[in-house]
Structure 1
Amino acid sequence: MSRFSYRIVKRLVLVALASLHLAGAAAPIELMVEDAAAPWSNSDGSGYANDVVLAAFAAAHADVKLVVVPYARCKTYVMAGAVAGCFSMADAPELHGKVRFADVPLFLAYPRFFHNTSHPVAARGLADLAPGTRVAVVNGYEYPPEVMRLEQHGVRLVAARSEAANLKKLAAGRVDLVLAMMDDLKTDQVLLYEAQVEGVAFAFQSAPQGSYLGFSLTHPDGERARTLFNSGYATIVANGVKRAIDRKWNLPAQTAQGTAAKER
């Protein structure tokens, strides 16, 4: 082989290897996101949480692919290691040893209870709920431990696909209370308007909890994705991109405060 031909072959090999490397590097990290958590995460792939996640990974120079699915599937897949991450998640016993959260919550959620004004519930707190009370929750959602303990006291937790579906049940008198996870963007007015229900009103609220991007402890991209997100999130906080997203979605400053990372 002539020196000229050798150089050409060598160059072609190097180009091929570079192409393979770029193809591997370009493979996006796949994350699942809930389809019914407006305005944080909407069915069309938009939302405040989606914007923050995408901006954080962009700041870390990492490509991600968001797959919009029902929350129950999102949670099941990340727990099984079938996807690198899922959002937005809150602490729950079944996540322990399977999912690790980002260092900082995407937002804070407030458990708010609604009742039918034609059949109001006298309770003004969880401790006041009588045995047999039917409380509608969303299938697969994580709720504060004190909520999950209600069943030990005879309260019935009735699961459905969405908060809107639960509110329709409440308006029809099929449940006594609806537990909705509210926040600084999803107001009572927005929730009730989107559900298109009447005769439903706020009853009481319990303590808030953080909502996180959760990463699989068994998926090969899980821990790498968590490291990239944490790094990118710190960058967008420092360079003002996070605050710009807050303003875009009319979110008050400093809504989600940093907390120590936890292994769930």
Structure 2
Amino acid sequence: MLRASLLSLWLAATTAAAAPPAAQAGASIEIMVEDAAVPWSGPDGSGYANDLVRAAFEAVHTNIKLTVVPYARCKAYVMQGAVPACFSMSPAPEQKGYVALSDQPLFEVYPRYYYNTDRSLPATSEQQIAPGTRIGIVNGYEYPASLAEVEKRGAVLDRANSEQANLRKLSAGRVDLALMMANQMKTDAAIVQQAQVNNVGVAFHATPMGSYIGFSTTHPQGEQARKLFNEGYRIISSNGRKNEIVRRWQLR
């Protein structure tokens, strides 16, 4: 009887030691999320990407806490190792050694250059953007590598805290172009409506990009959270849960 009791205690201790930290203590993994990317991620914690991330961790029985912050802070904190994860992120050179992206993107984004329709079209492609052209971008966002080439040729990157702010600056003539992110859920009409401007339109497109959840390579929970998410995302992609979320947001 004593031997059996000791064996039971040993098994219990071994199981607890092998369990993920979040599962052991019932604690949540903190994940930061952008506050100004409706419909992917909104200021109230709702969004298509938010629902995907929640569903993926639920599928592997892991509690998470989403902390809604400006994207620049989200990105800085995950790169500094202050939080385990941040979304939505796209690949960028500065992430190397600091951030490991999820195996699969949460969604694809299609960068679009907008112009002020009250003025002449400043260019019809990135190759035609002239030196001195002011381009509105969001502080901390990742953009196609081609934008760096545009900047090298003399374009001026004007940073704001949100895409809506950039469109308002474009409408007022304070920038010449604004680089926006769109897809089938975040349409051109929705982008313009959110900014509440009526004199902007699409000039041309840039190279599509994937948008991922990024995990800290230095935070103690970063690698564990990455593995859990990847497994959970695989599960919801195969059991229909991801498709349910896609349909629900496409109908909005």
Partner of 2:204: 204
CA 1:22/1:54 → structure 2, altered by over 3 Å: closer, same or farther?
closer
Question: Equivalents in 1 of 2:213, 2:149: separation in Å?
Answer: 25
Partner of 1:224: 224
The answer to whether residue 127 in structure 2 is matched with residue 127 in structure 1 is yes
Question: Equivalents in 2 of 1:150, 1:122: separation in Å?
Answer: 14
Partner of 2:80: 80
Partner of 2:156: 156
Deviation at 1:182, TM superposition (A): 1.0
Deviation at 1:137, TM superposition (A): 0.2
The CA deviation string for residues 216-259 of structure 1, in whole angstroms up to 9 with x for no partner, is 000000000000000011111111111111111118xxxxxxxx
Q: Is the 8 A contact 2:56 2:235 kept in 1?
A: yes
The CA deviation string for residues 167-213 of structure 1, in whole angstroms up to 9 with x for no partner, is 11111111100000111111110010110012111100011000000
The CA deviation string for residues 138-169 of structure 1, in whole angstroms up to 9 with x for no partner, is 00000011112211100011000011001111
Deviation at 1:25, TM superposition (A): 2.6
Partner of 1:105: 105
- The one-letter code sitting in structure 2 at the alignment partner of 1:190 is A
- The one-letter code sitting in structure 2 at the alignment partner of 1:194 is Q
Question: Equivalents in 1 of 2:243, 2:23: separation in Å?
Answer: 33
Structure 1 unaligned segments of length 5 or more: list them. Answer: 1-13, 252-264
CA 1:130/1:246 → structure 2, altered by over 3 Å: closer, same or farther?
same
Moved over 3 A (4+): 21-24
Question: Equivalents in 1 of 2:81, 2:163: separation in Å?
Answer: 27
Deviation at 1:24, TM superposition (A): 4.4
CA 1:219/1:103 → structure 2, altered by over 3 Å: closer, same or farther?
same
CA 1:227/1:148 → structure 2, altered by over 3 Å: closer, same or farther?
same
Partner of 1:114: 114
Q: Is the 8 A contact 1:121 1:176 kept in 2?
A: no
Partner of 1:7: none
- The one-letter code sitting in structure 1 at the alignment partner of 2:71 is Y
CA 1:116/1:227 → structure 2, altered by over 3 Å: closer, same or farther?
same
- The one-letter code sitting in structure 1 at the alignment partner of 2:160 is A
Question: Equivalents in 1 of 2:157, 2:39: separation in Å?
Answer: 25
CA 1:132/1:86 → structure 2, altered by over 3 Å: closer, same or farther?
same
Partner of 1:241: 241
Q: Is the 8 A contact 1:134 1:177 kept in 2?
A: yes
- TM-score in terms of structure 2 length: 0.90
Deviation at 1:106, TM superposition (A): 0.2
| 1:41 match: secondary structure | coil
- TM-score in terms of structure 1 length: 0.86
The answer to whether residue 93 in structure 2 is matched with residue 93 in structure 1 is yes
The alignment's C-alpha RMSD in Å is 1.8
The CA deviation string for residues 64-112 of structure 1, in whole angstroms up to 9 with x for no partner, is 0000000000000000000000000011111011000000000011110
Question: Equivalents in 2 of 1:175, 1:187: separation in Å?
Answer: 22
Question: Equivalents in 1 of 2:69, 2:159: separation in Å?
Answer: 18
- The one-letter code sitting in structure 1 at the alignment partner of 2:118 is S
Q: Is the 8 A contact 2:22 2:29 kept in 1?
A: no
Q: Is the 8 A contact 2:22 2:28 kept in 1?
A: no
Q: Is the 8 A contact 1:137 1:160 kept in 2?
A: yes
Partner of 2:27: 27
Partner of 1:38: 38
- The one-letter code sitting in structure 2 at the alignment partner of 1:183 is N
Structure 2 unaligned segments of length 5 or more: list them. Answer: 1-11
CA 1:207/1:22 → structure 2, altered by over 3 Å: closer, same or farther?
closer
**Count, aligned residues:** 235
CA 1:72/1:172 → structure 2, altered by over 3 Å: closer, same or farther?
same
